[in-house]
Amino acid sequence: MNSEYFKKVHKWGAIWNYASLIAMCAIPVVMSIVLKAWPDLNALAKTLAVLIPLYWVTAFVEIATYVPMLGAGGTYLSFITGNISNLKLPCGLNAMEGAKVKPNTEEGEVISTISIAVSAITTTVVIAAGVLLFAPVLPKITAEGSVFKSAFENVLPALFGALGAGYFIKHWKIAIAPMIGGCIILIFAPKMQVGILMFITIVISIISAMIIHRDLWYDDFKKMKSKS
């Protein structure tokens, strides 16, 4: 890994990150100034008492999960532009798979970042165009009775089914444990947040892979031992 390049990516990421943070904080302030109305602190505290434990804790788990998969540039951009688990993460992984590069390599870093940046631009343009040009027609897409309703309600199974197909066939033995584990967890906690569920299934999957490929671990361990 070219540490110089990674250092630069971290620097750029941090600068854009702080710029976005300022922009984010400015939004409600500007709205309050323009509308000459400041928030109801009681209701705000009540809402944040629900949101903060729910999402701030998840943020720790999500960051730890996404960084090794998306690299630095991809992670910064993903968190700034949002919609990670349902869009940026699968998009980045699909691009690396398509370009035959691996996460945690310089090639992976480049492809993942390009892919997530393109995804962010596409989403931004689609939303802007939709809002400005098609706002009156759009609710009809998902309205009761629309032919497209069921399609757009099932974007995620379609997306992850297609994305996982190749891997599941190639590594079907590894896939059994996290799939069963995920379903069992959901039987008891059917509305578990996907960020937490994902962390658990990744751990199950890695343990399952370690058990299935224990011979490789053993070889590696022996090599390390003989070197020392």
Quick check: 211 binds other proteins (CB under 8 A)? no
Which of residues 223 and 228 has its CB atom nearest to other proteins in the complex? Answer: 223
Tell me how many residues contact other proteins (CB under 8 A): 165
Nearest-approach distance from CB 161 to other proteins, in angstroms:
4
Nearest-approach distance from CB 45 to other proteins, in angstroms:
9
Quick check: 206 binds other proteins (CB under 8 A)? yes
Q: Which amino acid would we find at residue 161?
A: G
Cα distances (angstroms) measured from residue 109 to each of 31, 100, 190 = 37, 12, 34
Interaction with other proteins in 14-53: which residues (CB under 8 A)? 14, 16-21, 23-25, 27-28, 30-32, 35-40, 42-44, 46-48, 50-52
| Cα gap 111→94, rounded to integer Å | 10
Which of residues 2 and 228 has its CB atom nearest to other proteins in the complex? Answer: 2
Which of residues 162 and 228 has its CB atom nearest to other proteins in the complex? Answer: 162
By the 8 A CB rule, do 84 and 66 touch? yes
Report CA Rg, the chain.
21
DSSP code of residue 138 = G
Nearest-approach distance from CB 48 to other proteins, in angstroms:
6
